Structure formats: C-alpha cells, structure tokens
Structure 1
Amino acid sequence: MGELRDVVRVAVIYDGPEIVGFFPFERHPLGIGKPVAAGLTDAQGLVHAKDVEIDPMRLIKECGLSVYEFDHLVGGQPLLNARAERHPSPIIDLREGWEPYTETLKKQSGKTYKSTLAKSRKLQREMGTLRHDYATSDLAPLRTLLNWKTDQYRRTGRTDRFAHKWIVELVERLLATRTETFAGVLDMVYVDDRPVAGHFGVRTRTTLAGWFPAYDTAFAKYSPGLIHHLAMAERAAADGIQIIDMGRGQKEYKDKLKNGQLEVAEGRVARAGVAAGVHWMMRVPVRKTRATVMANPVLLKTADKALKTYGRLRTVLQG
C-alpha cells in the first residue's frame, strides 16, 4: 500500500530501547487518520507486544492525527474504547479439520449443505465437469472475477471499488505476492473450462481473509457461490488454513457457512479540536443512522430494495 498511496504511514512504538509495536495508518487532510486500505481491510489496529500499555491519545498525537477512525478494529486493541460499537465477524473455523467442520455444518445448516451438494451434482450433469483451481497466480481469471464483482456492485446499487485504479493495482500486486506467511489467494471453480465462481483474498500461514467473492450470474440457479465456498474451504484446510474470516456484514451465505465468529469494533479515537469536531459532524451521525438501519430487518430490507432499484436504473441509463 505504501508503494501505491503516499498517505500510508507506519509508526514504530518504543518502550525505552525496545520496539514494542507498530501502528499502520493513513494520514489524510486535517489530521484525519484511517486504517491502511480502509474499506478493504477486515482486521485493523496495532501490532504490539502482549500486555504492553499504550496511551491511545498520545499515540495519535505523536502520529500527527486529530482523529483515528476504524470500522474493523480487532478486539483487545489499545485503541478500543467504551463508545465503540461491537460487531460480529463470522468465520469458518477449520482448526479441527475439514471433516469436523462438515459434520457441524450438517447439524446447523443441514438443508443448505445437502442442497449445495445436490446442485453441484446437477451442475455437472447439465453443464460438464467441475474443476477447482486453488491459489492460482493467473491474471486472466482475476480479471474475470473483478468484472463479476463490478457487475454485482452496479446491479445492487453499491459503489464500484474497482473504479479506483489503486485497488485494482493492489489486488494484482497481492496476487503476485507468494510467501509462507503472506500471499494473495485467487481460486476459481470452472465447468468445462468456463469460470463459474471465484474468490480473491489474502492469507497468513493459518488465516484466509475473505475479500472479493463473486460468480457468473448465468449459473445463479446452481448456487455457485456456495459450491465455490465449500470447495475453497476444503482446499484451504488441506493447505493448513485454520480460519477463514468472511468479514463483518450480514450476508445469507455467511450465516449458512459460519461455525464461529470474531468480534470487531467501529468508532474513533479523537483529540479535542476543530478538526475532530468537523469529522464528528461529517461521519458519526451517518454511521449511527447506518447502524440503526442494519439492526432493523424491515429498514434493512427496504434500503436493500431501494439500492437494487437504483442499481437497475443506473445500469439502464449507462447502457
């Protein structure tokens, strides 16, 4: 990210001569601080020594920040305060292995699991042989996946993240990054060499963070996203992945596949001043309104319907 955007910084935190932490952040005008790659990262905060005491106010002051805002702050962070809103981040927990996970899935989402396997068999009967490429480094399927995701954003009235060139370049650079402890991971499901569904995310040695799942809508009746996620989880487990973090947010497929959850927080740390006051007026009421909508099923359904209607109208007008 530092190579792509000049707002990226990393503060090095010392206790005497010893380095005890790192604080990655972006510094924007008026001293507004954000997580690196805000909007993409599902785990935000400091990397720090266990039990180290860090004063959040001093930290942001030393970093030249008036405010640091976050929406996926990892639990237990020094930046976490009582006013922050906590949210679940659903996971696929593979620490016991693939087979125990599927047994859990059969108990809590048995209908979904059986229907997904049935649809996979139907897809192969009607369309051809199923093939799964896990952790491929080919750019062509990545571009196919990003096109699907752009179409999904537009169709559902959301902002197209890939209209930002730096995000596309970031994803391409991550795809080319392959080490034992960090890599971009692209995997795709094909039927007779035609791409059906896929996902791009990043991994550590033991955790795969979900970023961009998408599928070809021509195959929607077969639930290709669920077929793909089960295939991805099986291969990831075989590759040593213990946790697939699907990220904060209410999605039906997450509810069906999860067997655990982490907790992340949304809020801000702010020093008294004009910049912090302006930031509060611009951001906090909007965040609270969004939280109210997300917590109310009727309001959420209405908002989602309105966005999809907007997406259809936008597609027609642009077409």
Structure 2
Amino acid sequence: MRGLKVEIVGVEALTQDDWALWSRIQSDEPDLISPYFWPQFTRVAAEVCPGAAVAVFRRGTQTIGYFPHQRRSGTMQPLAAPMNDYHGIIARAADRPSLDEAATLLNAPRLTVGGWVGHGEVGQARRTVQVQLPDGDYAAWYSERRKSHAKFFKDKERARRSMEAELGPIEVKRGLRDPELLDQLIALKRDQYRRTGRHDIFACGWTADLLHRLMAQPEGGLGASMAGLWAGGRLCAMEYSMHAGDQYHFWFPGYFPELARCSPGILLSMDTMQMAGAAGYRTFDFGFEGEHYKKYFCNAEREVREAVILRPGLGASVSQAAVGLLNVAGAGRGEQLRNSVRRRWAAIEACEVTPMARARGAVNAAQAALAKVSRPSHA
C-alpha cells in the first residue's frame, strides 16, 4: 500500500489509455475473469447506475488499478450493486491492495462489499460455485455427476419425461435478445420477491434498465442474453445470463411456480450448459451457494469476501451492541441475524436512491428480521 494514492473520477473521465490498461490487466489476471470485471460492463453500468464513479489507484505517476463503484449518501458500494456478484480492484495481483488496505485508501464513511475478489482479513468468507466442463464435454460432466448423485439426476430425467407427457415436446433456445421476454422474466422475479418477502430490486427502475442495456450490446466480447424452455409451445422457464470469453454467468433464473414439480428451471440450466458448451463456453458460474440443486451440479468453487467496513468510531460500537441485543432476543443468533439484515439493507441501499424509498425498504427488512427472531432455533 506504500505510496498509493486514490483519485475518484467519473467513468467518462477515463481515457483510451485507461481502458486499454484495464483490458490488459483483466485479461492477464485469472481471478478477474468474470464478466463483471470487463470494461464493457462498467461502461454500460455507468450509463444507468446513479452515483457511478471509478477510483483510480496510482503510485507516483503510474496508474496501477481501478475500482468501479457507486455512492449512496455516505456508503461506497461496487458499481451495479446489488446485482454485481464479483467485484474488487482491477489491478495486477502483485499491485493489488487488500480489502483492508483498500478501505483505508478509499476513505469512505462506509464501504459495503458482498463478493470481493482478493485477499483481506475483514468481513467473512463466502463461496460461489461453478460447473467446469472438462474440455467442454457436457456428456462427461453429466456422466460424472449422475454417478455421484444418481437419485437427483434420475429424478430430473423423470421430470423431463413427465413434462413432455403432460405439456408436449420440450424446446430450448439460448442466445435470445428479446426485450419482451426479458420484461416477462422481470415480472416473474418481482412476483417471487413479493411472495418470499425479499426486497424488490427491480422496483427502482435502473436495475431493469441495466439488464436491457447489457442485452442490447453488439455481439462479441462481453454479452448478455436469455435462454428459454418451452413445452408444447408453453413458456415454462427463462434465464438471463452474462457471458464473456469462455465464462458463462447464470444471473437471473425464473420459472412459473405452478410447474415446480417438473423442475423447469433446472432442466433449462442443464440444456443451456449443453448448448453453450458446444459453442465454446467452459465455466458456468451459478453465483453464491445456497440453493440445494447447486451442490449436485457444481464441481468448483471460489472464495470471496463480504464486509461492511466503517470508519473507526461510534458506528462500529453500535453495530456490536446491536448484535448483543439480537442475541438476547434470538437465543444466541445475533450474528446470523445481523448478516441477514445487513444483506437486506445492502440491497435496499444499493437499489433505492431516495430516503423515502430506503425507509420503506428498511421497514420491510425489519419486519422480516423480527419474524426470524421469533422463530425457534433448530441449530
């Protein structure tokens, strides 16, 4: 960190030399391979994300890295949060500050990250999971997974037959760039958020604009597209993904709940991997672990860090005091509850740019947290 200085600039202030350096670093560093680190993602996101900026890291007159971010009052977040699964400083590994050092250099009242790529001691580790196709061979992957998890995959084979018998022949398409299909998916996700009590990340508007803008980009380099599964002509499942190089990032899946018994979303992911693998994609990223099916699919993982870093002072003390109160109410589950509330608040703060909208989201998050506190612990 010695000798490093940071300058905050608008994305439009970056020069062609900056973008060329960014591209070279990103393509040379294996841990920056995700589409989220590509220059095109930052350029498109900056068009729609309120408060977009870039922190430029320099040592003397030499630029060594970039951190695209957004500001929400006193909080600094990765650009496009809460939709950005991977983020960090685009710099060579030997020059890259740790998360702890970056927080000091950035000097924000609060730095919130959920999928920081790079080393650091603050916060907590989280895992993302991937499917690595051996030499692009979907059949080899499926054979190995079916041997390891026979019951799960036999059940999906039965679900496919059941869907075809009930609805008709299955058809899967990928590489779709239909704005109306995307609007259908967004409506489906918003309904899911309402049913499950999660914050509606699409209510703010700019998040939906981001997906549309990315999908409208010319093909080549980084791209975004949709895949869909139809049975007997009926749309059953959709998935919005981002892809670059040989990386394919599953981003927003959705299926119609009344067809859950047929696992249309899982069938769509499998067929998409088979088709995209044949087109040259090798890594299929499913984001954060959690959903049960991912443990049957994925054969690789990455570690990232989640943290809320406050300037020293009252804020940190109040945070720890809140954990103590939650522990009293939640039978020792204060830390777990704080993580849940923190993630909810990070999403609310990232999406909503007005105090009124943030207040509404905070009330909903508090109600959900209280509901969790009132449940008995089975740990």
Please indicate the TM-score interval, normalised by the length of the shorter structure: 0.7 to 0.9
1:37 to 80, 97, 113: 80
Distance 1:282 1:190 in 2: 52
Deviations 1:119-166 (A, max 9, x none): 212211221121111010111221221222122111222122221211
Distance 1:254 1:132 in 2: 21
Name the count of aligned residue pairs.
Answer: 292
User: 1:289: which partner in 2?
Assistant: 336
User: 1:206: which partner in 2?
Assistant: 246
- Determine what percentage of the aligned residue pairs are the same residue: 24
Kindly tell me: are residues 83 and 37 of structure 1, through their superposed partners in 2, closer, same or farther at Cα, counting changes over 3 Å? Answer: same
Distance 2:68 2:181 in 1: 31
**Which segments of structure 1 move beyond 6 Å, counting only runs of 4 or more?**
281-287, 291-294
Kindly tell me: are residues 95 and 51 of structure 1, through their superposed partners in 2, closer, same or farther at Cα, counting changes over 3 Å? Answer: farther
Displacement of 1:15 in angstroms is 3.3
User: 2:15: which partner in 1?
Assistant: none
Unaligned residue ranges in structure 1 (runs of 5+): 295-302, 308-319
Find the residue that maps to 1:54 and give its secondary structure: coil
Distance 1:84 1:150 in 2: 30
Distance 1:57 1:248 in 2: 22
Displacement of 1:192 in angstroms is 2.7
Find the residue that maps to 2:166 and give its secondary structure: helix
Kindly tell me: are residues 144 and 53 of structure 1, through their superposed partners in 2, closer, same or farther at Cα, counting changes over 3 Å? Answer: closer
User: 2:52: which partner in 1?
Assistant: 8
TM norm structure 2: 0.69
2:130–2:283 contact (8 Å) kept in structure 1: yes
Find the residue that maps to 1:96 and give its secondary structure: helix
Is residue 142 of structure 2 the alignment partner of residue 99 of structure 1? no
User: 1:68: which partner in 2?
Assistant: 111
User: 2:177: which partner in 1?
Assistant: 137
Displacement of 1:64 in angstroms is 5.2
Is residue 71 of structure 2 the alignment partner of residue 27 of structure 1? yes
Find the residue that maps to 2:175 and give its secondary structure: strand
User: 1:166: which partner in 2?
Assistant: 206
Find the residue that maps to 1:161 and give its secondary structure: coil
Q: RMSD of the alignment, in Å?
A: 2.9
Kindly tell me: are residues 56 and 244 of structure 1, through their superposed partners in 2, closer, same or farther at Cα, counting changes over 3 Å? Answer: closer
Q: Which has the higher contact order (CA 8 A, sep 6+)?
A: 1
Find the residue that maps to 1:202 and give its secondary structure: strand
Kindly tell me: are residues 36 and 290 of structure 1, through their superposed partners in 2, closer, same or farther at Cα, counting changes over 3 Å? Answer: farther
2:214 alignment partner AA = L
1:196–1:224 contact (8 Å) kept in structure 2: yes
User: 2:300: which partner in 1?
Assistant: 260
1:109–1:257 contact (8 Å) kept in structure 2: no
Distance 1:241 1:99 in 2: 14
Kindly tell me: are residues 216 and 53 of structure 1, through their superposed partners in 2, closer, same or farther at Cα, counting changes over 3 Å? Answer: closer
Unaligned residue ranges in structure 2 (runs of 5+): 1-44, 327-333, 342-367, 373-379
Displacement of 1:108 in angstroms is 2.1
